[in-house]
Structure formats: structure tokens, C-alpha cells
Structure 1
Amino acid sequence: MYLCAGAVEIGLEQVESPPHRPDPALSRAFDSPNGNDAFAYPGKAEWGLCAWWRQGGEEMSADDTGECYDAVVLAGGRARRLGGADKPMVSVGGMSLLDRALQACGGAGRTMVVGPHRATVRPVHHVQESPVRGGPLAALAAGVRWVRAPFVVVLAADLPFVRQETVTELLRQAAGSGTEGAVMLETQGRDNPLFAAYRTAAVRRGLALALARHGVLTGLPIRVLTHSLVLRYVPDIGGVSIDCDTWEVVALARAILKPDAG
């Protein structure tokens, strides 16, 4: 079995487990490279979200999310409906869509941006799936490889209205009893798995299962993962789920999010 740094193509010649019980070694391929357990975050073990989650709490304040979650922001793709433009760098309200996503998950302990190296509003870890543009599931796996926290927030870099409050609510819902993640519902009622918070261990297990079943992650839809998870769905309030898939939506977002004058 092999794993290239920052890549997700893992050789399967040593995988002998049946599809529904992936080889534990294969699952560990998605663990943090420094060997930390998915539920261990050095120095943050007994406070904030970690403490609340371990104690089975029912309420969590915005300040409690702390550094017990990491973030993976997906900033690749071809943006065909935008004519091939570099969508994460499209400016809305005086800020790129990528920076808006980074601002919303600013409480993350560490943030992985999957895609080409770009200037960002705050420090991040730049990673890339292999092959490049291998699809959202491959990109997620490349980012999750570096996650150390018990929860991971996943955001696409095309969400102009995403806010820290929304991320906090997703984390609160994801930490609920018997739940492995919380996914935002779009205004049409369709869930968006790339606007979500998940338990890191559940994502790693699901990625290993998908890899064991399909042999590769490249080209697979993200729902191959989410169909194996127990999820809660968070209704959209105020249109935060709108994504900039067309120039018409970009124009609408720009009209709403005008930069502050002066």
C-alpha cells in the first residue's frame, strides 16, 4: 500500500477485507501524518467543543467551538458555468469567495485549502489532490489527511453568504448524540455536503469504505461518502446556502454585499 504526500490514490494490492469492513490500515491512511488520534487535539482536550461533546452537552455557545475543529475548504474545480474563471478568487463585496469561506471558519485550529496555491486573508495549509481536479471526494480526502481535530468543517469556496454563526450551528448539530455530521440544506431543500460539519473519525471511515468499494476516489461524487453517514440537516435561514455557480448569482451577491464605503 502506498500514499503520496498530499495525494489520495492509494494502492489496493494489499487490501483483502470485504467491502463493508475496510482494512484498518487503509482507514489509517487518512489519519493525520503526525500520528495524532482523530479525537486528540494537543492542549485542547478538556475545554470548548471537545469538553462539551465528551460530556454529552446539549447547548454550545459560539465561543466554545475554539480550536477543536479543523476546516477543509475546497477551492478546485473547473467552474464551467463561469466560463472557466478562477471561481474562488472571484471578488464579492470586496473579498474573494475563498477569503469569505476562510473568514467563516476562522475559529478552526488549522485550515486546509485544497486547490492551487493562492493568496489568502489568513494563514492556511495548501494541499492538492492527485490527480489535480480529481473531484470533490478526492479533494476532501486530500484535506482530511491533515486534520487533527475531532470535528472538521467542510466548505466549498463559492459561498458568498457563509458566516461564522452558520459554521457554529453546523458544529453544534454535528456534535449531537448519535450524529456523524450536519449538512446545510439549500433553499430548494437539497442538501449540500460541501457546506457541512462532520466528525473526523466518521469521514475517515467513510473514505476508507469508499476506497475499498471503488478502488479509487477520483471522479466519485461526494455523496458516496455522505450516504454512509448518519447526518442531521440544518435548514437555510436567510439564504446563506446560495452558491456562486453562475455570473447571475455572482451579480446578485455583489449587489447584496457591497463593500463598505470609505
Structure 2
Amino acid sequence: MPVDYDAVILSGGEGRRFGGGDKPGALVGGVPLIVRVAGAVADAGRLVVVGPARDDLPGAVFVREEPRGGGPVPALRAGLEEVRSPAVALLAADLPFLTAGVIDGLRRHDRAVLVDRDGRDQWLTGVWPADALREALAAYRGASLRGLLEPLAAVRVPVPDDWFDCDTPQDLAHARKIVEES
């Protein structure tokens, strides 16, 4: 598959359910969550991180949303300004088991989003045409990422068996246990 995509990782959230702190920097198997996510898109033309600059992601482009803490829609808007490729992988920074294979599976489609085992679209794990996102953002006045992305009619790709995100300290503990046992 040719490298024709950039990746945008949203990492500037407050992590309220996580108890605050540096959720993207939380370690799983000795590796920060955000570094694990970046590893899944190592073949992206450009890695754009919306959030505080990090020393553990050399070569990444760091931007901040306005207003800071404004949520995923302003964060996507800020990140998309740095995208140069025709497609973009839009990702959360808290996906401990995201792999290049999952990204490749999403990239087989023009627009794709992962769907969890409960049938919920995981809007922060998808691949989109960059221009379609720009057009949608230009017309959108809401604050919901779902409200922005759902009308773009993505292919819904089921999550792999070992997929989940780390929203809570319990999720992080579970991810660490999986890595320790493997």
C-alpha cells in the first residue's frame, strides 16, 4: 500500500475519567501509550500531534487547539492544518494495542471507522479523505466529533479481538496485565 496518508493523534484532553495527569504518557509494557499509537502509523507521511510537545516523538509536528481544552473538533481542526497527504488517520492517544495492521485495514476503504464490540463507532480510530474533513469542518458549527463525522458515511470496520482504549485507570491496569502475560 503506498504511503499516501498522514496521521493526526489527539492527545490534549484532560483525561477526567483517567484521573487527570499525563494519560498519553502512561506506560504499557514500558512504552508510553502515545508512542504505541505513533508506532502503528510509523509509515505515515507526517505525524501530527495535537497536544503538548513530547520528547518521545521525534519528528512529529506538534500543534495546539484553540481554545486549549476545547475538545476534539477544535483539535481536529488544528491538526488538519498540518496534514499534507490526501488521507488522514485520526487517532486517540490512548490505544495500547493499535497496530499497523489495523491501520492498513482501515486504509483499504476511502472512509473507515472502527466499531467496538458493543456496536459503537470509535470516531478517534478512523481514516478519512483530508479534503472531506476540511469541507465538513468548514460547514460544521457543533462540538461533537460524532456529529461531524457520522454524516461522512464511513465503512464500519469491526475492532480486533485485543482492541480497547485506556479511558480509566482500570483500563490501563488491564492493558498492563495483558502485556505482562504475553
**TM-score under structure 1 normalisation?**
0.67
Once the two structures are superposed, what CA deviation does each residue of 1:58-114 show, in whole Å capped at 9, x if it has no partner? xxxxxx142x10000000111111211210000011100110110001111011000
Q: Is the 8 A contact 2:117 2:159 kept in 1?
A: yes
Q: Is 1:104 matched up with 2:26? A: no
Q: Distance in 2 between matches of 1:187 and 1:258?
A: 24
The SS at the match of 1:154 is strand
Q: 1 or 2, which has the higher strand percentage?
A: 2
How many residues are matched? 182
Give the aligned partner of residue 52 of structure 2. 116
Q: Is the 8 A contact 2:19 2:169 kept in 1?
A: no
Q: Is the 8 A contact 1:186 1:192 kept in 2?
A: yes
Give the aligned partner of residue 17 of structure 1. none
Correspondent of 1:244 among 150, 166, 173: 166
Q: Distance in 1 between matches of 2:162 and 2:9?
A: 20
Give the aligned partner of residue 150 of structure 1. 86
**Superposed counterparts of 1:1-262, under 5 Å:** 64-66=1-3, 68-174=4-110, 181-210=111-140, 214=141, 220-240=143-163, 242-258=164-180
Q: Distance in 1 between matches of 2:50 and 2:157?
A: 25
How far has the Cα of 1:259 moved from its partner? 9.4
- Structure 2 unpaired stretches of 5+: none
Q: Is the 8 A contact 1:65 1:107 kept in 2?
A: no
**TM-score under structure 2 normalisation?**
0.95
Moved beyond 2 Å, runs of 4+: none
Q: Rg larger in 1 or in 2?
A: 1
How far has the Cα of 1:228 moved from its partner? 2.4
How far has the Cα of 1:221 moved from its partner? 1.4
Quote the sequence identity (%). Answer: 41
Once the two structures are superposed, what CA deviation does each residue of 1:28-68 show, in whole Å capped at 9, x if it has no partner? xxxxxxxxxxxxxxxxxxxxxxxxxxxxxxxxxxxx142x1
User: Over the residues paired in the alignment, what is the CA RMSD in angstroms?
Assistant: 1.5
Q: Is the 8 A contact 1:94 1:259 kept in 2?
A: no
The SS at the match of 2:88 is strand
